[in-house]
Structure 1
Amino acid sequence: MRKSLMRITLRQLQVFRAVCESRSYSRAAEQMALTQPAVSLQIRQLEELIGQPLFEYVGKKLYLTEAAEALLRASGDIFDRLESLDMQLSDLQGSLQGQLDLCVESSAKYFIPHLFAAFRRRYPDVSLNLTVVNHAQAVRRLSLSRDDLLIMSQVPQDMALEFMPFLNNPIVAVASLEHPLCDEGELHLQDLTAYPLLVREKGSGTRRACEEYCHQQRAHFPQTLEIGSLDAQREAVAAGLGLALLPRHAVHLELRHGLLRELPVAELPLYRSWCVVHVRGKRLSPVAQAFFGFIREERAQISALATRFSGTARLPEAGIPT
């Protein structure tokens, strides 16, 4: 190993990572509570130790060199190991401490905070960094191994992953209270196709699952409106813009308080399993291991939590996702 690399300090790496994240010396200085000349000095000293430039300007934009990309990966490994060490030392002292970096698909964002709250009652010194994305973004984050764990449905089959199904995600048809179909009895998916269907953006796991299922059931919707988030989709249904196929957990309050109506469609609910996922071979931190174990061991508690969001009877146990 080059002796110069042994002189790199953690502070220099922190400043370097701030510049990489913000793509700006001035924003990195603000983030690190430093002056811009101090940031420039730290980067210049780091470049002298590395022996190569780390950044270059093209026009007014700051870009990472290949050396910077390599250093960014190495620094990530270093800080991950230090975080893991901190957790292990806390564990040796009899208390689990540290942060769980958890990424969830948007359809799970309503339930997962309650699940983490149950976990935190057992481990009160654990903190949470929660990132909410759609399915396509979750897959990209998996390929980069950016998070400790992910909560997703439709686990990719072409990636080396470890996953565990733990809860069903029922997708139901919902309408405004004034919708004509609310006066009908039992319906079929085909009955819904005469009305506009509100769908999520491309890349949404719920949209993909519903499109595949409707295709299987030969239910084709000629009128669709694309709505870019679950919350906006829910409000658009309430406004009378159309029907939607939504996770029941996302609309449980509206259903419970009579703001939306779940339509009695014979082919629904459509069940997909939420799974906790990580890249196979990934070294999990003690906090991530504890959260994974909590999900595996506390199925009864998770099922009891889920009944608050179901609006119906107790949900069946989750199976292998399809």
Structure 2
Amino acid sequence: MRKALLRMTLRQLQVFRAVCDSLSYSRAAEEMSLTQPAVSLQIRQLEELIGQPLFEYTGKKLYLTDAAEALQRASQDIFGRLENLDMQLSDLRGSLQGQLSLAIESSAQYFVPHLFAAFRRTHPDIHLRLTVVNHGQAVRRLGGDRDDLLIISQIPNDVPLDFLPFLENPIIAVAPPNHPLCKMAHIHLADLTRWPLLVREQGSGTRRACEEYCHQKRAHFPHTLELGSSEAQREGVMAGLGLALLPRHSVRRELDSGLLVELPVAELPLMRSWCVAHPRGKYLSPVAQAFFAYIRAQRSAIVRMADRFTTGPEAVDDRPAPASPVVQ
């Protein structure tokens, strides 16, 4: 190993990572509570130790060089191992501590906070960093090693993953309460095609699943309106812009209050499963191991907890059973 590399400091690597994440010296300085000249100095010192430039400008945009990408991967490994060490030391003290970095598809954001809250009752010193993305972004994140675990609704076929299905994700058709279809007792998916369908953006897992299913059932919607989130879809339906196919979890409160109505479509609900996943062969931190093991051991309790999103506001006992040992 070149001796120059041994003179790198963790502080320099922290500054470097901030520049990589923001692609801006000024934003990195703000994040690190430093001046921009101080950030520039740290990067110049790193470049002298590396012996190569780390960043280059094309126009006004900052790009990582090949050397920066290699250093970024190494720094992720270094800080990941330090974080794992901290978790292991806290575990030896009898209290599992640390941060769980969790990426979830946007339609899972309605139940995941409740899931983590139940898990945290068992491990109160664990903190959460939650990133909400669509399905396409979630798949891309799998190659970046930015997350401990991912909660996803459709497992990609071309990525080797270890995954665990743990909760059904029913997709239903919803309409405003004054819609003509609400008066019908029996509806087929094709009956919905006379009205505009509010859909998510390209890359959404829910949109992809619904498009594939509707194509399979030969239900073709000639008029669609693209909205950027399930919240926008929900509000659009209430505003009378059209119908939507949405996870029942995401509209439970509106169904309970009567703001939306679930249409009795014969071919629905479309059933998918939420899965917790990570790249095959990935080393899991003690915190990630504990969360994965918790989901495996508490699937029945998680289903009971999720019933509050599908069957109404009545109380459901979602207290976890005694914690299982953490296993790799």
Deviation at residue 106 of structure 1 after TM alignment: 1.0
Deviation at residue 39 of structure 1 after TM alignment: 1.6
Q: Distance in 1 between matches of 2:92 and 2:185?
A: 61
Q: Distance in 1 between matches of 2:217 and 2:260?
A: 25
Q: Distance in 2 between matches of 1:228 and 1:79?
A: 34
Deviation at residue 52 of structure 1 after TM alignment: 1.3
* 1:202 matched residue in structure 2: 202
Kindly report which structure 2 residues correspond to 1:1-322, keeping only aligned pairs within 5 A, or say none: 1-311=1-311
Q: Distance in 2 between matches of 1:163 and 1:21?
A: 28
Q: Distance in 2 between matches of 1:94 and 1:214?
A: 52
Q: Give the residue type in structure 1 aligned to 2:264.
A: P
Deviation at residue 60 of structure 1 after TM alignment: 2.5
SS at the partner of 2:194?
A: coil
SS at the partner of 1:143?
A: coil
Q: Distance in 2 between matches of 1:60 and 1:156?
A: 36
**Deviation >4 Å, runs of 4+:** none
Deviation at residue 259 of structure 1 after TM alignment: 0.7
**Identity within the alignment, %:** 74
TM-score, structure 2 normalization = 0.93
Q: Distance in 2 between matches of 1:35 and 1:267?
A: 60
Deviation at residue 300 of structure 1 after TM alignment: 1.9
Q: Distance in 1 between matches of 2:143 and 2:16?
A: 23
Q: Distance in 1 between matches of 2:279 and 2:35?
A: 39
TM-score, structure 1 normalization = 0.95
SS at the partner of 1:21?
A: helix
The C-alpha deviation readout for 1:189-242, integer Å capped at 9, x for no partner, is 111111111111111111111111111111111111111110000000001111
Deviation at residue 27 of structure 1 after TM alignment: 2.0
Q: Give the residue type in structure 1 aligned to 2:246.
A: L
The C-alpha deviation readout for 1:261-315, integer Å capped at 9, x for no partner, is 001111111100000010000000111000000000011210110110013699x
Deviation at residue 143 of structure 1 after TM alignment: 2.3
The C-alpha deviation readout for 1:67-107, integer Å capped at 9, x for no partner, is 11111111111001001111010100000111111011111
SS at the partner of 1:292?
A: helix
Q: Give the residue type in structure 2 aligned to 1:178.
A: N
Q: Which runs of 5+ in 2 are unaligned?
A: 317-328
* 2:323 matched residue in structure 1: none
Deviation at residue 151 of structure 1 after TM alignment: 0.5
Q: Distance in 2 between matches of 1:223 and 1:19?
A: 44
Tell me how large the CA RMSD over aligned residues is. 1.4
The C-alpha deviation readout for 1:93-150, integer Å capped at 9, x for no partner, is 0001111110111111101100000000110110101111111111101122321100
